[in-house]
Amino acid sequence: SLAAKLGGPNPPPAPSPGGACATASMERSLQLLAKMGPSKGHGALNTKRAPRLKKGYGAIGLGRHTKKGFFFVNPMLFPILQVPELKDFELKPYVSRNTPVISNAHPYWKNGKFRP
């Protein structure tokens, strides 16, 4: 336009199809994108962001709960540790000499085998 070439005031921009509401929401989304952007990631996934997520503490599920509240241990789920023979081994395990011996061990652990 001739007024713009001569340094006059610019005409107001034409209204967008969505109106002022669409412009405000676009600005808000751009601000959020600038703050969170793809390079920032989505942050830690915790129970506030995903309420059904329970992280737990790394425990192994060794069985299942029944309707009546009992817990059945499944021997197939029990981890079996295979320790090599250490008779002539030079290094010693890091256990204090003052550690008391457990004499009343649970019957599951008799003979070093798991038998419920």
More confident residue, 103 or 9: 103
For the whole prediction, is pTM greater than 0.85? no
**pLDDT tens string 74-93:** 988 888 888 888 788 887 76
Which residues, 6 or more positions from 46, have their beta carbon under 8 angstroms from its beta carbon? 53, 55
Q: What is the pLDDT of residues 20-54, one digit of tens each?
A: 566 777 676 666 665 555 556 667 777 777 777 77
Q: How many CB atoms lie within 10 A of CB 62?
A: 15
Mean model confidence pLDDT for the chain: 72
Listing DSSP states for 75-112 in one string gives GGGS----PPP-TT-SS-----TTPPP--S--GGGGGG
